[in-house]
Structure 1
Amino acid sequence: MSPPVAPPGWSRWLVPPAALSVHLSIGQAYAWSVFKPSLESALDLSGTQSALPFQLGIVMLGLSAAFGGTLVERNGPRWAMTVALICFSSGFLLAALGAATEQYWLIVFGYGFVGGIGLGIGYISPVSTLIKWFPDRPGMATGIAIMGFGGGALIASPWSAQMLDSFGSDSSGIALAFLVHGLTYAVFMSLGVLLVRVPRPAKTAADGTPAPLEGVQVSANSAVRTPQFWLLWIVLCMNVTAGIGILEKAAPMITDFFADTSTPVSVSAAAGFVALLSAANMAGRIGWSSTSDLIGRKNIYRVYLGVGALMYALIAWVGDSSKPVFIICALVILSFYGGGFATVPAYLKDLFGTYQVGAIHGRLLTAWSTAGVLGPLIVNWIADRQEEAGKSGASLYGVSLIIMIGLLVVGFVANELVRPVDARHHVTQKEAADVHERQQPA
């Protein structure tokens, strides 16, 4: 499938809505917890078992993005969005069949494995295209799209809850909700498939062939052999681990922190706190990534990691004595969590060029898969051990918070070590232009 080239006069501002249609859909992954209580009740599952589809989905996101990134670069955004549509929607349909027949393994396979492939391919599908359309503001462009992944849960959470209320929370009601999700997202994501275009290549006056790509250009295979790639891998992994540690445990954490005070946090207030964190996550993706276009990528990661460590320190030492301090610090940390995701494609473009930036981004997302396991594991395992030791309230999280500070410091140091890529890793302008020309339709 050849990438569709924009006709003369086509507005580049149509590409972000195309990307949003995909990211708002696959962002449903953050709303999986809505289904957990119903699944546990209907299929007699434990909390650990009901988390399996989400956990497998995040693992498959990183793996499919890593292994499929080169194919996305080669075949273009329409091909990638089509694959994402098929896999993500089919995952829901398989999950619906699994719920209807009460075969939980089919829900795990459908939503987690098949749908997770759709998550990974869909996540990276518009990144390279957006950067090529907005070379002047890559942080803003990728921030708009990746903001959708953070905001997808704000739509999916109440929508899913309403369907479970209407259809019922038994296995047949869950199956019908999954079915509606799969069909609706297929229609919505198809808008992006139909709308997306790649920019028309610049032509030279002499021979009419595509002009060479400007600046540093590095292939995906060469990029993973550079220290810059692995330093950024550490940066992303540490930033995501710190953010997801709060996100995954948000409601019980704020409840525990103020359980022994005169003004404990109610269940509804804790749910409102989770909604606030989702909004901060989404706002950070567009706000901080756009700011990176003004102050530079290294500087914005200094903010994410350095200020993030200070926010964790405030929570650790005074968070249990002041709700405003706890809430504000958590919101700032989650805005940095979202901003880190949205800024990293532009950081990669600065270091490695646009030649195969989508494929490089896909491989870097293995850091997300690692952090998705590491963050919740640190917070939950330590909280369980502290509870077994007879501790309660904020004391359950003290050690975890100190660990998060340390991880952010490690990420800060890794960011400081990032330097321009050595010239021996660069592809020649002719090689880059030849591949660029082969990827364009005649």
Structure 2
Amino acid sequence: MGFLDREHSVAPTGWNRWLVPPAALAVHLSIGQIYGYSVFNKPLARQISGDLSAVQGAAGDWSLFQVGLIFSVALFFLGASSALFGKWVEREGPRKTMFASALLFCSGFVVAAIGVRMHSLPLIILGNGVLGGIGLGLGYISPVSTLMKWFPDRPGLATGMAIMGFGGGALLGSPLGTALMNRFANDGTLGVSSAFLWMAGIYFLMMMFGAFLVRVPREGWKPEGWSPAQQQSSAMISQHHVLVDQAMKTPQFWLLFAVLFLNVTAGIGVLGQASVMIQEMFSDRVLGAGNGVTAAAAAGFVGLLSIFNMAGRFIWSSTSDRIGRKPTYMIFFALGTLLYLLVPTLGSMGSLALFILATCVIMSMYGGGFATIPAYLRDLFGTRNVGAIHGRLLLAWSAAAIVGPTLLNGFRDRQIAAGVPAAQAYSTVMYVMAGLLVLGFIANLLVKPVAEKYWAPAEEPAAPPAPAQGATQ
């Protein structure tokens, strides 16, 4: 187990820092499976009836609202564990953290598989929600913190590389889950239990690859030929540091908390029910017999959203290196508001192609918000405690993970119960989400540089670095 200790993962002189992104991607592509979890929602909700085509299940079946709690609980524990273990992650290093993440995330699938067999929703929530969620939190913040140390010269690019894989998790997880359920459809659980067990094994191997490959830079390392004085000059980029406990006393921390919460709330409900939503908004009843979106096509739609979610994390965060973090978020909120207002109209028109285009752009900005927020924190609070500050800010994600899906699923279920056709049951919540983005625009507009009274005392000058600067560029 000593191999997992931080001192055994310090990179030797000349180690190539571009080996860290594949390690980060291996972990984030695995835990990002949570974004493809919606392909399991209907099979889980039809365990008694076994009828995937029914809008409502038989007696004893769970509702989609109940099944949606798995997704919400997982993301709640992602944020909570990130906040709780942020300092531990910095102290113990990425290798031990990634190993712990793999154990928790994958054992969660095993526990959930048992829960499916026993038809116990609390056991599934314990597995995929609690254990898996803690694994998500540990696996999420460690690669982000590590890559920001390796790429101080390009923080937006670094966070984009780290978080891009998490957004793309559904690209692998959605078709994999669907294929495994089809392969084991006769196992008595519509293939869900067997799919969970196989995914536990596959993801554990992927995450171990990342854990064994990752390295941390030695003390005093910096990219060859680069110095902090070369970073972009801006009033919004501080040359000082704020410690994590002080950061939480600043208005900037809570404004960014609101920015992340509102951006995530608006997007996460749609993403968590993407498969079901597109099937109901564009069913045979809407488009004509034989023309509706099938479960397989919906899985492809989830995968497409994953591509835009993933690409948006890299493209938008890299763009923020050039135009600034604050203007980037202003684009997210302004354009996102217009698109959310447009979605119900596209649904009523039966414009499937434009609906897909609009939701893909929304998902690119949703993902871009996650990838840009660590660099935003770095700009405002400096680098000394940015990993721990990021972990605490992710509590906003925990709150949004509860509010977003609850809003969408709650409105849908109430509309269906009131006799509203399933295709029209999502309109009200889209308008609510647009209102949340307006509030996010205002919160971002109020962000200013951190006042001097919150700055940490200057550190003593470090010893001159060794002549060899280290990593390959």
Q: TM-score, normalised by structure 2?
A: 0.82
Match of 2:451 in 1: 422
Aligned in 2, Cα 1:186/1:387: closer, same or farther, shift over 3 Å? closer
Select which of 369, 385, 410 maps to 1:381.
410
Select which of 370, 378, 384 maps to 1:341.
370
Match of 1:180 in 2: 198
Aligned in 2, Cα 1:227/1:169: closer, same or farther, shift over 3 Å? farther
Aligned in 2, Cα 1:66/1:152: closer, same or farther, shift over 3 Å? same
| Superposed displacement of residue 256, structure 1 | 5.2
| Superposed displacement of residue 100, structure 1 | 5.0
What is the alpha-carbon distance in structure 2 between the residues aligned to residue 77 and residue 240 of structure 1?
26
What is the alpha-carbon distance in structure 2 between the residues aligned to residue 431 and residue 331 of structure 1?
48
**3-state SS of paired residue (2:6):** coil
Taking the TM superposition and a 5 Å limit, the aligned residue runs for 1:290-329 are: 290-317=318-345, 320-321=348-349, 322-329=351-358
**3-state SS of paired residue (1:267):** coil
Aligned in 2, Cα 1:109/1:398: closer, same or farther, shift over 3 Å? closer
Match of 2:386 in 1: 357
Aligned in 2, Cα 1:55/1:433: closer, same or farther, shift over 3 Å? farther
Q: Are positions 1:191 and 2:196 aligned together?
A: no
Match of 2:6 in 1: 2
Which amino acid in 1 is paired with 2:264?
A: V
Q: Is the 8 A contact 2:98 2:139 kept in 1?
A: yes
Q: Is the 8 A contact 2:68 2:405 kept in 1?
A: no
What is the alpha-carbon distance in structure 2 between the residues aligned to residue 317 and residue 21 of structure 1?
39
**3-state SS of paired residue (1:126):** helix
Identity, % of aligned positions: 51
| Superposed displacement of residue 336, structure 1 | 0.5
Worse-matched range after superposition: 128-137 or 175-184: 175-184
Match of 1:137 in 2: 154
Match of 1:114 in 2: 131
Worse-matched range after superposition: 172-181 or 26-35: 172-181
Worse-matched range after superposition: 303-312 or 40-49: 40-49
What is the alpha-carbon distance in structure 1 between the residues aligned to residue 311 and residue 35 of structure 2?
15
What is the alpha-carbon distance in structure 1 between the residues aligned to residue 166 and residue 429 of structure 2?
27
Match of 1:210 in 2: none
What is the alpha-carbon distance in structure 1 between the residues aligned to residue 441 and residue 111 of structure 2?
42
Q: Are positions 1:400 and 2:429 aligned together?
A: yes
Aligned in 2, Cα 1:203/1:81: closer, same or farther, shift over 3 Å? closer
Aligned in 2, Cα 1:223/1:262: closer, same or farther, shift over 3 Å? same
Match of 1:35 in 2: 40
Partner deviation per Cα, 1:235-274 (whole Å, 9 max, x = no partner): 1111111112322343454455556766686122544433
Match of 1:246 in 2: 270
Q: Are positions 1:16 and 2:21 aligned together?
A: yes
| Superposed displacement of residue 349, structure 1 | 1.0
| Superposed displacement of residue 316, structure 1 | 4.5
Aligned in 2, Cα 1:64/1:320: closer, same or farther, shift over 3 Å? same
Q: Is the 8 A contact 2:6 2:94 kept in 1?
A: no
| Superposed displacement of residue 276, structure 1 | 2.3
Q: Is the 8 A contact 2:35 2:272 kept in 1?
A: no
Which amino acid in 1 is paired with 2:301?
A: F
| Superposed displacement of residue 403, structure 1 | 1.8
| Superposed displacement of residue 394, structure 1 | 6.3
Q: Which runs of 5+ in 1 are unaligned?
A: 205-213, 435-442
| Superposed displacement of residue 34, structure 1 | 3.0
Q: Are positions 1:163 and 2:180 aligned together?
A: yes
Aligned in 2, Cα 1:349/1:96: closer, same or farther, shift over 3 Å? same
Q: Is the 8 A contact 1:20 1:148 kept in 2?
A: yes
**3-state SS of paired residue (1:430):** coil
Taking the TM superposition and a 5 Å limit, the aligned residue runs for 1:7-86 are: 7-42=12-47, 45-47=61-63, 48-86=65-103
| Superposed displacement of residue 411, structure 1 | 0.5
| Superposed displacement of residue 123, structure 1 | 0.6
| Superposed displacement of residue 15, structure 1 | 0.8
Partner deviation per Cα, 1:39-85 (whole Å, 9 max, x = no partner): 44446541344334333211111111111111112222122112211
Select which of 307, 311, 329 maps to 1:283.
311
What is the alpha-carbon distance in structure 2 between the residues aligned to residue 101 and residue 397 of structure 1?
32
Select which of 138, 148, 153 maps to 2:170.
153
Match of 2:219 in 1: 201
What is the alpha-carbon distance in structure 2 between the residues aligned to residue 297 and residue 401 of structure 1?
26
Match of 1:211 in 2: none
Which amino acid in 2 is paired with 1:73?
A: E
Worse-matched range after superposition: 306-315 or 111-120: 306-315
Aligned in 2, Cα 1:11/1:97: closer, same or farther, shift over 3 Å? same
Worse-matched range after superposition: 93-102 or 136-145: 93-102
What is the alpha-carbon distance in structure 1 between the residues aligned to residue 191 and residue 429 of structure 2?
38
| Superposed displacement of residue 284, structure 1 | 0.9
| Superposed displacement of residue 175, structure 1 | 3.9
Match of 2:57 in 1: none
Worse-matched range after superposition: 384-393 or 9-18: 384-393
Q: Are positions 1:233 and 2:238 aligned together?
A: no
Match of 1:218 in 2: 242
Partner deviation per Cα, 1:202-258 (whole Å, 9 max, x = no partner): 279xxxxxxxxx932111111111111110111111111111232234345445555
Q: Which runs of 5+ in 2 are unaligned?
A: 49-59, 223-237, 464-473
Aligned in 2, Cα 1:91/1:135: closer, same or farther, shift over 3 Å? same
Aligned in 2, Cα 1:431/1:310: closer, same or farther, shift over 3 Å? farther
Match of 1:437 in 2: none
Match of 1:267 in 2: 293
What is the alpha-carbon distance in structure 2 between the residues aligned to residue 171 and residue 387 of structure 1?
26
What is the alpha-carbon distance in structure 2 between the residues aligned to residue 309 and residue 421 of structure 1?
28
Worse-matched range after superposition: 144-153 or 166-175: 166-175
**3-state SS of paired residue (2:168):** helix
Match of 1:330 in 2: 359
